[in-house]
Structure 1
Amino acid sequence: MVRVFSTSNVNESLSSDVFIILVVFPGVLCVTVVQSQNGLRVTYSRTKICAIKGATVELSCVYMYPSTRNSPSTVDKSFWFTKEQNNECVDLTTDSQYADRVMHKCVGTRCTLRITNLRESDSAKYKFRLISNQLNGRYTDEPGVLLYVTDPDLKVQEITSYLKCHSSCPLPYHYSYVWYENGQEMPAVRYSSYSGPSVYKSYTCALKRFEDFPSPPVCAKGKTCNKVTYAVRAICASKGSSVAISCTYNSYGRIISKSWFSPGLSHHSGYHMRPEDLSRDPRYTGRLQVFDNEMGHTTLSISALNESDSAQYRFKFRTERSGWRSDVHGTTLTVTALQVQVTRIAAHQFYIEAELRCHSSCSEASRLPYGWFKNGKQLILQDKSSYNDFFCLEDEISCALKGHEGFPSPSVYAPKVTSVLLNPPGEIMENYSVTLTCSTDANPAANYTWYKKNGDSDFQPFSEEPQLVYSSIQSSDSGEYYCAAENELGRRESGHVIINIQHAPKHPSVSVIPLDEIMEGSPVTLTCKSDANPAATNTWYKEGKSLVEGKEGIYYFTSIRSMDSGIYSCKSENKYGQRNSSRLLIDVQYAPRLPTVSSSPAVEIMEGSMVNLTCSSDANPAAKYTWYKIDENTPIASGRIFTINDIGSEHSGSYLCEAHNKRGCRNSTLHLVVVSDSRTSVTVGSLTVIFLVIMLLAIFLLIRRKMSSKETNQTGKRADNKGQLNMDLVHENSSASAHGQPDEEQEDLYYASVSFSKNKEDPIYYNVVQAKLTRPTNKKEKDEDEEEDEDEEEDEDDVEYTVVNVKSANAISELRCQEKVEDSSALYSTITK
């Protein structure tokens, strides 16, 4: 129950209110006078608390602050503290002395501080602070809570017929107790009182979980009994120093044997634990002595202490009747090494300035003189626990207790050589497990930072662990690594390690230059690329057939041809595997090749029949076809096949097929001869008569040759030559027309031979043939030609010759072709713009 009485009405001149706080707890009555500031006030539940080392304690308080409905007040922050630095209170939750041992919690206006695993150093005055910017104040109420941490300090009191375990420090009701009779535990007794003690026996009590601090033994009913009383329950000593552990003892009967032992160093014999006399332990040879200078008093001395000497030491004896057993705890010895702590440091470019302190967890060591060592040499300093100096990265500093210089503290120094260990070493395959370990020698222990460089970028920190563990390393983890080790005294960097992840080829890709359409005759480059380590060997394939291989993966066409069109692919391969690329289509474009023209039917074309003229050309893109008649400029048809239905004599003549695409054009000609039916019958009869005439003439010439007439022979030769000339001329013209000589090989001047029947009303046939014009070169030849012409006129009265001068069909076609290509190119470029 808490009662608050205000005295503000007694003295109105006071700047703050004064409260008398009456705190009533079961068995506790506290009266605290508290002043309020700006209306803030704090009430502590208890102002003094006694607690046992290793236990848990809770400090609590309730705070109040002014608040109205229209202007509510709030507390921005609250915490507990014991220290002040730079005029600021240090929150206990941030104090390293209380690390992981304190917890602050507020529920409404009630706040609690819990401290676990109490130490003697926790003994202090604890205050609660409120911070409220709204009320313009930081408020700490008085008097706070005074906490005193101590041993249980138990005593056994004999009250008539029972024994009472009592502590000078108020103990909570929930504690359990342990009782010993003649040094042997009595498991059945668990309360603070024990009834029915026996005469001539000693009794000792302790708190459960604090058996290290039992009460001194007491003889029941004031009689003589067996008991051992230790001078101290715990001793803390520095490594290398000496310690003396003492106790007094009484016996009920004559002592037969006595010894010092340590339960942790005892050995088993059968089913029983038998303590071992430390004087026979080889680990203490030359370091242990036992002194029994006076009756009932013994001392165990151990010199040159080390950490392994930390243990509990007990004394036991036997008498003729009984003795002192070993269950009661004796003296606990803790041996700690000295430590050099860095309390202040200032870093400069080439050195540091630091203040060091020689520290021991034993409070006794703080009262002893020290010696300091720098790089193994003792410094001439006062016997202080602190040391201030300038240090380099290579300096090593240690301290020792005076007189125990052979047992110095571990040296403190900046990190020495820092290295990176790669596991496994050698080649690293993708998806393997890889560990990089950064190591150095440093005291205090170094903190590590890893740096990585990718490509041309700068090194970037990315981890602060001593190890980098890649459970399944990837190619993206490749790069240059190093680590830095740093402590309070300096920093060192390791050498650089390059991680090169090996893997089979990945994602091969193919490309072609030029990117747009490929023209025949142009240079073309195919490139194959893949992500591989080591570099892959690249092989090009066309339609499944290998072309070339090499690390560069480049295939050149200096002048690509149409036959190079097809589907290409690339295979990338190294010692870890292979991978095929996607397929690449190469489509080579070219102008039309020389067209081939034909007619169907191909032999005699009868008047009135149907004729198909066909034109074909190899081209990419596919060619378009246009038909012209030689003596006409206007196209007469388009398409690969030109069909003439009901052909007549007017269709006779030369036809030109022009194949063209956007890359160019070519043309070819075809000559048509149309024959009528009546002309065919006359021609057959004429051929028969001519054949008979030739046969008779041959017989006649044979007879004349036998007569050896010179005049007749000459006449026969002339007639024969004339016939041969006419036949050759007809054969030559027919051959030239049938074989379709190219336009560029034909002359611009042609003969047109036109035959008519004698009956003008009944035309027999129209025969249009091409014949070269032969010009006479001298007078003799000219006279012979005139004679031959006269003879031919006599034989063929119906034949008339007309010389026609025709403009070159090829020249016209080339101009027309050039115009079409230009138009096509312009159209194409407009589309792809």
Structure 2
Amino acid sequence: MQVSDREPVDLRTDSEYSGRVQYHCGKNGCTLRISDLRERDSAEYKFMFTTNLPGGSVAGEPGVTLSVTDPDLQVQVKPIVHQGDTKAELKCHSACRLPDHPSYIWYKSGQEIEAQTSSFTISFELTDSYTCALKGREDFPSPSVCVYGQHCHRVLYTEKSVCAFKGSSVDIYCTYSSDESITSKFWFSPECSHQWQSASQPEDLSTDSQYTGRVQVIETWRGFSTLRISDLRERDSAEYHFKFRTPRFEWRSSLPGTTLTVTDPDMQVQVRRYRYNSWAELKCHSRCRLPDHPSYIWYKNGQKVQKTTLYYSDYFGSADSYSCAVKGHEDFPSPSESLQVKVNRNIVYPSYTYAELTCHSSCSPADRLSYVWFKNGARIMKEESSSYKDRLYLGDSISCALKGHDNYRSLAVYALKVPYVSVSPSGEIMENTSVTLTCSSDANPATTYTWYMEEQKLLNKEPHLVFSSVQSSDSGEYYCAAENELGKRTSEYIFINVKYAPKHASVLVSPSAEIVEGSSMTLTCSSDANPAAKYTWYKENQTLLQGPEDIYHFPSISSEDRGNYHCKSENQHGELASKSVFIDVQYGPKLPSVSVSPSAEIVEGSSVNLTCSSDANPAANYTWYKENEDSPKASGQIFTITDFRDEHSGNYYCEAQNRRGSQNSTLHLIVVAERRGLPSNHLSLKRDQNPGNSI
């Protein structure tokens, strides 16, 4: 039994010890075994037995006081003076009795070292700190101790674990020291290591997008740091560490930090009843540590009562119900200790659910009571049993009450209503912002949720689907399914349209093969944007076209269209220019131009150069011919005639050719009759250009 100010309570019937207590009793001895020990199990325990004699209950005095605690280890340092050496003996000590032959783990300045005994001797430096832990209980190490002085390298966390409510704020504390100048310091969480650039190099928590705007580091005085996280969410549940660096040292602790658990208040009413009357003591309990000196709110039969303390005592009526909440967190009250309808069996059909229900009272044995049942608020006649069977259609509700207490009905159970999906924020959704989808479903018993994106099942099982940094790939249709013991319903689709500035702008050329003059060609500006982008086309930075079209079309491209082109994509959220592409238009040679050098009269026997040039892409090849001769005279842009004589007179033409066509032009060389005063060995040249043909 556990000691109480009133009647002793058998531990096996106390909800606080449910499933954790065993008795092993023989003729003259009895052993109490308590498993899964908790700090609140610390108490005085007494053994009681009952005889058939008057007043025959006997309790042992005194009882046994149990103190449940962490291993509570301490490092004890004993300096050793030996020929000027700096040595010390370290011992890992516990005020609590330890298991036989334990193994130990030792840490030097936060790093594990080779040592498994409870004590050993070391040579140390002034910056060293030491910590010990029991093997298998590494989560409960001793505080780090400086071997000499108080300014060695160390980090001490005020608490090993912290529990806080969703939506609230929490402060996590540590102290740190070093005898060197600290160059940087920050908080981090190993649970975020998948986002680090290097798995071995933690990153500052304040730069993590998951905590944007919610993290604050406070240092009111040197050596004391506070991590404050506001608007807490369940995914913030993690272990948090502090790190600092000096020019020669980096705290790389393998020791545990502070573990944060974020949850609902999860309040419960614990009832301690007394054997001979209907008096009971109620306790408002939370598995999460509550703030200092909290105020409580108590409800009896749904009505608030004037009681604000942890405990509440009252006389129970057979239909009375009680619940409690922490002041400031009234949205999370405990379940009522009262009547409730339980679903024993159900078969879900497309249009209805067949269910077998039981009316359960936490106040009295069910088989001793008579019940009445209500369907959609109307009393069902001739139903006094604790069980009820019926078909439940969408919207139907069932509740029960003790006979004669119709006004104190149980909470109704009902077939699920179609869930509703809401989006927060409700306005335009921009890429890289936080978006939350909420699935709301009015249901009892409790509902579980599943989220879907376009028929693809998502892993999230909560009413909220959170995108901490929504991406364009998250755009699509979403819906949720709500399910409890009485059926399953799905919501309508909701479309998530993620807006973003243009990205990935580029110019595509069609056809992608060689571009020939006179052919059709299209440039397309490819860009990803939401809403759709408008486009501007440029040639060599000169604006060509503006508008919604992403296409610039050449119905018959010419050589003048050759050049660099790029486009700009823009919407109300931003703009982006593509890289330039070079459009190389190919064409056959234009009409060649021919010339002769020297252009004056030429002395017989001198040298003459004939030159041919033509605009062509790709560049032209040149061939020289003399009229009425089949074989070419020369190839190349320049044809040189050395030792010019009378027989060289005549018509010459050049042909410019590439794979897109050819053109030729004629040069006419004539011997001029001898003039008075001119030697007969001089020639006069006449040039004549005639257009050739094009292929």
Fold match (TM-score > 0.5): yes
In structure 2, relative to structure 1, the CA distance for the partners of 1:572 and 1:113 (3 Å cut) is farther
Structure 1 position 658 matched with structure 2 position 655: yes
Q: Partner of 1:399 in structure 2?
A: 400
Structure 1 position 742 matched with structure 2 position 690: yes
Between the two proteins, what is the percent identity of the paired residues? 51
Structure 1 position 483 matched with structure 2 position 515: no
What's the offset of the Cα at 1:54? Answer: 4.0
Structure 1 position 426 matched with structure 2 position 423: no
CA–CA distance in structure 2, aligned partners of residues 558 and 605 of structure 1 = 51
Alignment of 1:234-313 (within 5 A): 234-235=273-274, 244-245=278-279, 305-307=320-322
Q: Which runs of 5+ in 2 are unaligned?
A: 1-9, 23-31, 39-44, 68-270, 285-303, 308-313, 326-334
Q: Partner of 2:467 in structure 1?
A: 470
In structure 2, relative to structure 1, the CA distance for the partners of 1:590 and 1:262 (3 Å cut) is closer
Q: Partner of 2:618 in structure 1?
A: 621
Asked whether the 8 Å contact 2:354–2:392 carries over to 1, the reply is yes
Q: Partner of 1:503 in structure 2?
A: 500
In structure 2, relative to structure 1, the CA distance for the partners of 1:381 and 1:52 (3 Å cut) is same
What whole-Å deviation, never above 9, does each CA across 1:711-760 have from its counterpart, x for those lacking one? xxxxxxxxxxxxxxxxxxxxxxx9xx9562525xxxxxxxxxxxxxxxxx
Alignment of 1:350-389 (within 5 A): 350-389=351-390
Asked whether the 8 Å contact 2:609–2:641 carries over to 1, the reply is yes
What's the offset of the Cα at 1:375? Answer: 1.1
CA–CA distance in structure 1, aligned partners of residues 62 and 484 of structure 2 = 46
What's the offset of the Cα at 1:580? Answer: 1.1
Q: Secondary structure at the match of 2:354?
A: strand
Q: Partner of 1:416 in structure 2?
A: 417
In structure 2, relative to structure 1, the CA distance for the partners of 1:594 and 1:55 (3 Å cut) is closer
TM-score normalised by the chain length of structure 1: 0.46
Q: Partner of 2:595 in structure 1?
A: 598
Q: Partner of 2:547 in structure 1?
A: 550
Q: What letter is aligned with 2:495?
A: I
What whole-Å deviation, never above 9, does each CA across 1:75-134 have from its counterpart, x for those lacking one? xxxxxxxxxxxxxxxxxxxxxx95xx599xxxxxxxx9976699xxxxxxxxxxxxxxxx
CA–CA distance in structure 2, aligned partners of residues 532 and 541 of structure 1 = 20
In structure 2, relative to structure 1, the CA distance for the partners of 1:506 and 1:339 (3 Å cut) is same
**RMSD (CA atoms):** 4.1
Asked whether the 8 Å contact 1:568–1:583 carries over to 2, the reply is yes
Alignment of 1:526-675 (within 5 A): 526-674=523-671
Q: Tell me how many residue pairs correspond in the alignment.
A: 427
CA–CA distance in structure 1, aligned partners of residues 316 and 657 of structure 2 = 120
In structure 2, relative to structure 1, the CA distance for the partners of 1:153 and 1:377 (3 Å cut) is farther
TM-score normalised by the chain length of structure 2: 0.55
CA–CA distance in structure 1, aligned partners of residues 499 and 577 of structure 2 = 19
Q: What letter is aligned with 2:273?
A: A
Q: What letter is aligned with 1:234?
A: R
In structure 2, relative to structure 1, the CA distance for the partners of 1:151 and 1:244 (3 Å cut) is farther
What's the offset of the Cα at 1:381? Answer: 3.3
What whole-Å deviation, never above 9, does each CA across 1:676-717 have from its counterpart, x for those lacking one? 9xx4564589xxxxxxxxxxxxxxxxxxxxxxxxxxxxxxxx
What's the offset of the Cα at 1:377? Answer: 1.5
CA–CA distance in structure 2, aligned partners of residues 308 and 487 of structure 1 = 23
Q: Secondary structure at the match of 1:357?
A: strand
What's the offset of the Cα at 1:495? Answer: 1.8
Aligned with residue 524 of structure 1, among 521, 526, 529? 521
What whole-Å deviation, never above 9, does each CA across 1:373-409 have from its counterpart, x for those lacking one? 1111112234221112222122111111111111010
CA–CA distance in structure 2, aligned partners of residues 411 and 302 of structure 1 = 21
CA–CA distance in structure 2, aligned partners of residues 505 and 54 of structure 1 = 65
In structure 2, relative to structure 1, the CA distance for the partners of 1:417 and 1:537 (3 Å cut) is same
What's the offset of the Cα at 1:346? Answer: 1.5
What's the offset of the Cα at 1:551? Answer: 2.3
In structure 2, relative to structure 1, the CA distance for the partners of 1:612 and 1:527 (3 Å cut) is same
In structure 2, relative to structure 1, the CA distance for the partners of 1:151 and 1:376 (3 Å cut) is farther
Q: What letter is aligned with 1:473?
A: V
Higher alpha-carbon Rg: 1
CA–CA distance in structure 2, aligned partners of residues 387 and 51 of structure 1 = 35
What's the offset of the Cα at 1:448? Answer: 1.0
CA–CA distance in structure 1, aligned partners of residues 350 and 607 of structure 2 = 108
Q: Secondary structure at the match of 1:563?
A: helix
Q: Partner of 1:90 in structure 2?
A: none
What's the offset of the Cα at 1:674? Answer: 4.7
In structure 2, relative to structure 1, the CA distance for the partners of 1:465 and 1:176 (3 Å cut) is closer
Which has a greater percent of helix?
1
What whole-Å deviation, never above 9, does each CA across 1:474-520 have from its counterpart, x for those lacking one? 00000011111111112222222111111000101211111111110
Asked whether the 8 Å contact 2:319–2:402 carries over to 1, the reply is no
Q: Partner of 1:338 in structure 2?
A: 339
What whole-Å deviation, never above 9, does each CA across 1:238-265 have from its counterpart, x for those lacking one? xxxxx8549xxxxxxxxxxxxxx9999x
Q: What letter is aligned with 1:424?
A: P
In structure 2, relative to structure 1, the CA distance for the partners of 1:351 and 1:506 (3 Å cut) is same
Q: Secondary structure at the match of 2:501?
A: strand
Asked whether the 8 Å contact 1:610–1:646 carries over to 2, the reply is yes
CA–CA distance in structure 2, aligned partners of residues 335 and 682 of structure 1 = 137
Asked whether the 8 Å contact 2:48–2:57 carries over to 1, the reply is no
What whole-Å deviation, never above 9, does each CA across 1:322-356 have from its counterpart, x for those lacking one? xxxxxxxxxxxx98220100011112232222111
Q: What letter is aligned with 1:742?
A: N
What's the offset of the Cα at 1:670? Answer: 0.7
Q: Secondary structure at the match of 1:476?
A: helix
Q: Secondary structure at the match of 2:591?
A: coil
Q: Partner of 2:509 in structure 1?
A: 512
Q: Secondary structure at the match of 2:473?
A: helix
In structure 2, relative to structure 1, the CA distance for the partners of 1:338 and 1:587 (3 Å cut) is same
Q: What letter is aligned with 1:348?
A: Y
In structure 2, relative to structure 1, the CA distance for the partners of 1:372 and 1:425 (3 Å cut) is same
Alignment of 1:136-175 (within 5 A): 166-167=58-59, 174-175=64-65
Asked whether the 8 Å contact 1:452–1:462 carries over to 2, the reply is no
Asked whether the 8 Å contact 1:451–1:463 carries over to 2, the reply is no
Q: Secondary structure at the match of 2:647?
A: helix
Asked whether the 8 Å contact 1:504–1:533 carries over to 2, the reply is yes
